[in-house]
Amino acid sequence: MNLKIKKFYSENTETDFIDFEFDEQGDKPSWIHIKTPEFKARFITIQTSSRSEVLYKRFTGNFYYPIDLVLQPEEEKRFYDKFAIYYDENTAKNNLPMAKFLLEKLNKYQTNKNEKILDAGAGTGIFSNVASENGFKNLTLVDIYKSMLDMAKKKVLLKNAKFIIGDIETVKFPDIYESLVSIMMFDALDDVKLEKAIKNIRLHLSSNAYIYLVEDKKRDIYLDFFTEVESGLFDVSKDKGFQKYYFVGKVKHCDILE
């Protein structure tokens, strides 16, 4: 596939030379990675070999995805297969504060550090790594992308963790967990998929389990399955006024599971 970057809006000075790589499968790339360090653009327009133009938006760092297209599962897999090795360096500035915030909540409500914790949508294991640093021992990481969990497995502190590759809506878990932790996973699910995911996870939580979530917004469905313990907004980055919603809940009996 031939690809040209036609236009871009740059936050810094424009550059004459742009070094980039892209997904060469399919008619339109599922990802574009700009390798020129000084290039900082929110949007780029590319021209493909078919001469069609597609607008791409920055995902994070210098990774871009097509703004007007919904990536199919195989395209999304190719995106994360490429992005996995860059994930921590591109997301830690936000994901690490979120992980540390939820760790504070976990320490507040879960005093036994030997109880089982499920890290859902674990990615490269940013939260689990922080939890392990703080003495939590029984960690299970689940993610749909093998490439992301492969990066988590390389972390020394997670050498004794369990890893499950699968869709959170249908995956079968080997244990019953006392805590569920998830950072920015449920936001990616529509209401139907979210309900299926929560029902599936709920079957593998103990009767006294807690959940700890960070998301973009409140989802009312949490209250169908969990009694709210605390929730609200917190500052991820105070200097930029960047906030997220958090929810801490405790499992409750609900007829919707029966």
Burial class, 30, CB count within 10 angstroms (exposed 0-12 / middle 13-18 / buried 19+): buried
Both 122 and 215 in one domain: the answer is yes
Q: Are residues 50 and 99 in the same domain?
A: no
- Cα–Cα distance, 175 to 168 (Å, whole number): 15
Q: Is the pLDDT of residue 256 over 70?
A: no
Residue 33 lies in a domain: yes
Domain match, 115 and 28 both? no
pLDDT, tens digit, 9 for 90 and up, residues 106-161: 999 988 999 999 999 999 999 999 999 999 999 999 999 999 999 999 999 999 99
Instruction: Write down which residue in 69, 97, 126 finishes a domain.
Output: 69
Q: Residue range 74-101: average pLDDT?
A: 88
Q: What is the mean pLDDT of residues 56-60?
A: 84
| DSSP line for the chain | ---EEEEEEESS---S---EEE--SSSS-S-EEE--TT--EEEEEEE-TT--EEEEEEEETTEEEETTSPPPHHHHHHHHHHHGGGHHHHHHHHHHHHHHHHHHHHHHH---TTS-EEEET-TTTHHHHHHHHTT---EEEEES-HHHHHHHHTSGGGTT-EEEES-TTTPPPSS-EEEEEEES-GGGS-HHHHHHHHHHHHTTEEEEEEEEEEESS--TTHHHHEEEEEEEEEEEEGGGTEEEEEEEEEE---GGG-
Q: What's the pLDDT score for residue 13?
A: 45
Report whether pLDDT(187) > 90: no
Residue 193 lies in a domain: yes
Are residues 61 and 93 located together in one domain of the fold? Answer: no
| CATH number of the structural domain spanning residue 155 | 3.40.50.150
Per-chain mean pLDDT for the chain = 87
In degrees to the nearest 10, what's the CA dihedral of 159, 184, 243, 78? 90
Are 32 and 104 found together in one domain?
A: no
pLDDT value, residue 240: 64
Question: Are 132 and 49 part of one and the same domain?
Answer: no
Percent of the chain with pLDDT over 70: 88
Residue that has been written with the tokens 């297969």 in this structure: 81
Closest of 41, 42, 4 to residue 22, by C-alpha = 4
The per-residue pLDDT for 69 is 60
Q: Does 129 share its domain with 201? A: yes
pLDDT band at 10 (very low <50, low <70, confident <90, very high): low
pTM for this predicted structure:
0.85
The range of the structural domain enclosing residue 187 comes to 88-257
Percent of the chain at pLDDT exceeding 90: 53
- Identify whether residues 63 and 99 lie together within a single domain: no
Q: Do 33 and 148 belong together in one domain?
A: no
- How confident is the model over 192-237, as pLDDT tens digits? 999 999 999 999 999 999 999 999 988 999 999 999 999 999 999 7
In residues, how long is the chain? 258
108 and 46 within one domain:
no
Q: How many domains does the chain have?
A: 2
Q: Are residues 13 and 53 in the same domain?
A: yes
